[in-house]
Amino acid sequence: MHVTLFGTGALGCLFGSRLAPVAEVTLVGSWTEALDSIGRRGILLEEGAGSRSVRVRTARLGEGVPAADLVLVLVKSWQTGTIAPCLGPALRKGGVVLTLQNGLGNLERLGPGAFAGSTTEGAALLGPGHVRAAGGGPTVVAAPQWVARLLGRAGFDARECDPREVQALLWAKLTASCGINALTALLGVPNGELLARPAAWDLVARAAHECARVAEAAGIRLPFEDAAEEARAVARRTASNRSSMLQDLERGAPTECDAIQGAVAAEGARRGVPTPVNGLLWLLVKAATEGKGNRCV
């Protein structure tokens, strides 16, 4: 079975390295340093107390790749529109396109044939093609059953579900991400530090509650009662993690704020739900990235 992953960042390297023992894996991207590093020595994966190098194929975005049974989309949300036209030629007849991206709007941009999923796997990018596993968690996919089975063989806690559950889980992840990702990025701290800063935590809680109210207005039933308590649980569980938004800011890459805080603010405006904190965090993160070059794709 052949798997093509679009994305050479933290999750792309994590999923690619774990899938390589059970499938033929090709990583596709446009980050030259990552493609060169992986081509020379494979993906360098740090997990537990050890590390290993995992060999996979690589291809630059726009090059031909072997037709895949599974195309896994793990690029940042701002790249989705760019890679969408490349998916069809990369897919074998009867193959599956699956997105495990953060934020809202990715599935719609990938087209009607794509399937959605959600993962709570954590990973930290230490350098081009060099990733550290940062805590495991469930991965759910609204895709044919064999996709979950394949991910399971690769060591992921994966299961099949229906599209409504995926949407609820994406929104659930969004409620925590809205505050945690933005504040950790702006303050330059790991997730757990927010719990020790009352003013910062107040903003996280407000952002989470705003997101939950927008989800309710959109008819999404979240799998918890209190959005702020869910965010607190996530921050505790991932206390040592440096959020993906913080990692993006640190290496001068664009962030996913448009698909996270920006998407909540836009959906709130459409549904008449005020989202002042998410709107402010969105602008602050965008202001922090203005003038920085894109060094990681």
- Known catalytic residues are 173
Q: What span, in angstroms and rounded, lies between the C-alpha atoms of 100 and 258?
A: 17
Task: Give Cα 281 to chain centroid, integer Å.
Answer: 19
User: Are 123 and 105 in contact, with CB atoms under 8 Å apart?
Assistant: no
